[in-house]
Amino acid sequence: MGDRLRIFLTISCLFLIWISASASIPLSESLGIAPQDLSYYKSDVIKCKDGSKKFTKEQLNDEFCDCPDGTDEPGTSACSQGKFYCRNAGHIPLTVFSSRVNDGICDCCDGSDEYNGIVNCPNTCWEAGKVAREKLQKKIAMFQNGITIRKQEVEEAKQAFAKDEAELLKLKSEEKILKEIVQKLKEQKERIEKAEEEERKKKEEEIRLKEAERKANEAKKAFEESSHDSSDQAPEKLSELPNQDAMEDHHDSAIEEKSDYTAETEISDSQAVGKVANDHDDTIAKSGDETDDTIAKSGDETYDTNEESSFSHVEKQHLVGDQDSTMLKADTDDYTRSKEAPSSHVLEQQGQVLDSTEGLSREELGRHVASRWTGENAAEEEDGVDTAKEQGHEHDEDIPEENHGGYNSYSDEDHNFDDDDFEDDPDMEFGDHEEPAGTDSSDENDKTDYSDLTSSGSSSWLDKIQQTFSNVFQAINFFKSPVNISEADTVRKKYEDSSSKLSKIQSRISSLSEKLKHDFGKDKEFYSFYDRCFETKQNKYVYKVCPFKKASQIEGHSTTQLGYWDKFEESYRVMLFSNGDRCWNGPDRTLKVRLRCGLKDELMDVDEPSRCEYVAILSTPGLCLEEKLKELQEKLEDVNASRPSIHDEL
């Protein structure tokens, strides 16, 4: 018992001595020097690292700065440029500014930076190191998982990319074939219509002649035999009339078939078709140009309600594809409106208010003056802007909503900078808008319609068309007169079907090629981001980031664009959105999304460190990189290696 106690006391004493020895390190020559640097200080005369001077061993850590770069005072605060190395056994070594040496604040967890007795810094390295190690281990584990997920995602992305590329290629060839068909059908249709027209004229002429003849006969009869019985004339006349009626009915059949087709729609329809038919070149590049044009022009264009009504009308007709070009235009209009209208509105209002503060209520005046400093609009103006924005916004919501359903999220997203296009993220809640009543069925139809194009046996539909086309060609004798009514109908129907399909293909081509031209990262790891949006709520704002498209800040009904997709920065570690809505007295808004490794794609921590310059963090497996993992593992090894043995024993 006594022996044990003695041993225990001895050990304790030794331990205490060890502690006190380590706590009051004498000002040694090697103080503040990193181990890898020790050899540099071995010689008797040492060079300043910047080569400017030399100093002797006695001058090392003598509290007098000889080297401007601080080489001679690694362990004191004498040189303003110096650095102090603390070993921090049990934790990570640290290099601190020499201004931290003996400044009364514990900077190194081993307390080595405070040795003049002003403060007593306990050694906390083991505890701090433990926490740090655990953190590091967790991080490593996360990276390991993340890397696995990333691999999967990269694989999927590559497949999806290849699939999209293949689809594009196929669609392009189909487009070519279909174009020819449409062109031929159009010619037929025109020919038929011409023939019909001739037929009709001929019939009319016949009727006119007959009528004239009949009248002449009647007159003659009346004149010749006024007492004669003319009853046999009536049946003849009656039998003629139904014939004529049937003719006219037939003539109008195309219109009747789509009973509520308006003239307007027909015009835009045929225009669209005409355009497509006339473009024998590949339309992809062109359609891009056109869109650009519209965007550029749209500033001058006013929103035409006619356009809107015809447009929704067409929706009801399940003719989405045909209307595509119109829609593009409408959408870009919308987009520019919502972006520009409010700001010009504000400017106007400000201009007005600045000119005269008289006639304002006291509160208004107060708000107005305050707004000089804050840049906020006075309440009334704010309301005005909000409504303007809302209007634009609601506009946006109604129309493409229908559109969206029809294209099953593959619609022309790149032109529709509109919230609703980004609804693909299943996690998202965007319940503000209402589904316009009565469009559901059309959506459904569109979907099924479109599924023709994308279904696995999609090649068959083209074959079918080609087949029926040749059938039609064979079956119809174009020079037969009068025109066979059912044949003409078939041609017309085929023409409409085909051109509608062509439009759909073209819009799909343009959206696909728009997508594929983006840079999706080294391993295409960000491919799945294209059709996704990420949201986070902070205080009263919802932030919505749609990579490759845009980012916005939503407060209730008003949306502020923080920026439109610009590019990746810092080798795919930052997504930059720029040219957002303009700030009062400031720049256009921008958003930098910093990417970091995480197991889930998750947006967090949106911040505005400078006025209208936003930053956010998005965690994603895409950033879980092998190199980084290796780095972390090396760091952990280092930390473990520097573990003081005494702690292992205890």
Summarize as ranges the residues that interact with another protein (CB under 8 A): 97, 99, 104-105, 354, 357-359, 362-370, 372-375, 539, 583-586, 607-611, 613
Q: How far is the CB of 573 from another protein (least distance, A)?
A: 19
The H or E element that residue 610 is part of is strand 602-610
Give the integer Cα–Cα distance in Å for 18 and 10.
12
Nearer to another protein by Cβ, of 368 and 515: the residue is 368
Nearer to another protein by Cβ, of 161 and 584: the residue is 584
Nearer to another protein by Cβ, of 240 and 382: the residue is 382
Nearer to another protein by Cβ, of 44 and 358: the residue is 358
Q: Is the dihedral of CA 600, 603, 605, 607 positive or negative?
A: positive
Q: How far is the CB of 542 from another protein (least distance, A)?
A: 16
Q: How far is the CB of 120 from another protein (least distance, A)?
A: 15
The H or E element that residue 392 is part of is helix 379-407
Q: Which residue has the tokens 């808004």?
A: 589
Q: Which residue has the tokens 């609009």?
A: 377
Give the integer Cα–Cα distance in Å for 406 and 231.
62
Q: How far is the CB of 364 from another protein (least distance, A)?
A: 8
The two three-digit tokens of residue 493, written as one number: 């129907």
Nearer to another protein by Cβ, of 300 and 358: the residue is 358
- 326 close to 268: Cβ distance less than 8 angstroms: yes
Q: How far is the CB of 585 from another protein (least distance, A)?
A: 5
Torsion, Cα 484 490 491 496, to 10 degrees, reads 150
The two three-digit tokens of residue 211, written as one number: 């009528």
Nearer to another protein by Cβ, of 537 and 630: the residue is 537
State residue 550 phi and psi, 5-degree precision. -160, 170
Q: Any alpha helices (H) in 75-124, and if so which ranges?
A: none
CA distances for 148 relative to 135, 145, 282, 349, 618, angstroms: 20, 5, 42, 55, 19
Nearer to another protein by Cβ, of 9 and 369: the residue is 369
- 394 close to 433: Cβ distance less than 8 angstroms: yes
Q: How far is the CB of 125 from another protein (least distance, A)?
A: 19
Nearer to another protein by Cβ, of 24 and 95: the residue is 95
Q: How far is the CB of 347 from another protein (least distance, A)?
A: 12
DSSP 582: B
Q: How far is the CB of 136 from another protein (least distance, A)?
A: 20
Give the integer Cα–Cα distance in Å for 126 and 87.
12
Q: Is the dihedral of CA 161, 163, 164, 166 positive or negative?
A: positive
Position 41, amino acid = Y
